[in-house]
């Protein structure tokens, strides 16, 4: 596995642990439709939450969570729409982003709830 893939898996593991600790129910990880992927699909009470996880070893180019650009948001929303139809989910959906910075022997996790809207 490439280093960036391993880093991404470590980040997703940390994000899942964080989400479970704050009461989210994890439904799926790495849910694919075609070439698109949803990192984590969870429930937070009645909400369906689609979570994008960005993990970096340095903030030299900015905070990891800031790497979720409009094109990525559009792909996430498009894939979430497919999942919602697949799961026949009828409730409210929210998009969270978790940025994780791993470096110097410490972990910095920033969870942004309702990070972007579905209508871009």
CATH class of the structural domain 3-112: alpha beta
Least confident stretch, 7-11, 71-75, 116-120: 116-120
Residue 2: how many CA atoms within 13 Å on its side-chain side?
A: 3
The residue count of the chain comes to 120
Residue 4: per-residue pLDDT: 67
C-alpha distances (whole Å) from 43 to each of 6, 20, 91, 103 are: 26, 10, 11, 30
- As a whole number of angstroms, the distance between CA 44 and CA 66 comes to 23
Report field, pTM of the whole predicted structure over 0.85? yes
Residue 54 has pLDDT above 70, yes or no: yes
- As a whole number of angstroms, the distance between CA 70 and CA 120 comes to 8
**Mind listing the pLDDT tens digit for each residue in 83-107?**
999 999 999 999 999 999 998 788 9
The mean of the pLDDT values for the chain is: 93
Residue 80: per-residue pLDDT: 97
**Mind listing the pLDDT tens digit for each residue in 33-48?**
999 999 999 999 999 9
Query: Average pLDDT in the 11-21 region?
Result: 97
Residue 9: per-residue pLDDT: 94
- Helix, strand, or coil here: 23? coil
């Amino acid at each position: 596995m490439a280093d960036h893939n391993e880093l991404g898996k470590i980040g997703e593991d940390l994000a899942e642990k964080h989400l479970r600790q704050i009461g989210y129910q994890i439904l799926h990880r790495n849910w694919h439709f075609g070439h698109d992927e949803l990192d984590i699909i969870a429930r937070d009470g009645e909400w369906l939450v689609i979570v994008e996880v960005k993990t970096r070893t340095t903030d030299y180019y900015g905070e990891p969570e800031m790497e979720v650009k409009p094109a990525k948001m559009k792909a996430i929303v498009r894939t979430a729409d497919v999942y919602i139809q697949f799961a026949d989910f009828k409730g409210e959906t929210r998009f969270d982003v978790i940025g994780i910075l791993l470096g110097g022997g410490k972990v910095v996790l920033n969870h942004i709830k309702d990070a972007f809207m579905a209508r871009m």
